[in-house]
């Protein structure tokens, strides 16, 4: 899957310090064979030269679930 700058992605690379973390694509570089590598920024750093097969699109559902949990906690606190 191809990604563009500002896409939110999850890194899947067991050799990376950021494995399993969600970040934002900040740069896309294509080589002469048409294959792209990406620079992904995380809260505490960045990973360069990441191939597309090590990335997956972050689902918007995860963010919605976190918001829903926060709303539920807020409702519980009011009781």
59 pLDDT band (50/70/90 cuts)? confident
d(CA 42, CA 77): 32
Confirm whether 2 is domain-assigned: no
- Which residue is associated with the tokens 């097969």? 53
Backbone angles phi, psi at 78, to 5 degrees: -75, -20
What domain range includes position 54? 8-78
Q: Which two tokens stand for residue 70?
A: 């926060």
Confirm whether 3 is domain-assigned: no
pLDDT in tens, 9-44: 999 999 999 999 999 999 999 999 999 999 999 999
What domain count does the chain have?
1
Confirm whether 1 is domain-assigned: no
Confirm whether 53 is domain-assigned: yes
Q: Which two tokens stand for residue 40?
A: 């992904």
- Over range 61-68, report the average pLDDT: 49
Confirm whether 31 is domain-assigned: yes
d(CA 37, CA 29): 5
- On whether the pTM is more than 0.75, the answer is no
């Amino acid at each position: 899957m191809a990604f563009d700058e500002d896409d939110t992605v999850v890194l899947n690379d067991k050799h990376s310090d950021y494995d399993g973390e969600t970040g934002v694509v900040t740069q896309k570089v294509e080589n002469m064979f048409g294959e792209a590598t990406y620079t992904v920024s995380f809260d505490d750093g960045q990973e360069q030269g990441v191939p597309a097969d090590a990335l997956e699109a972050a689902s918007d559902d995860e963010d919605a679930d976190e918001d829903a949990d926060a709303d539920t906690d807020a409702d519980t606190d009011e009781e």
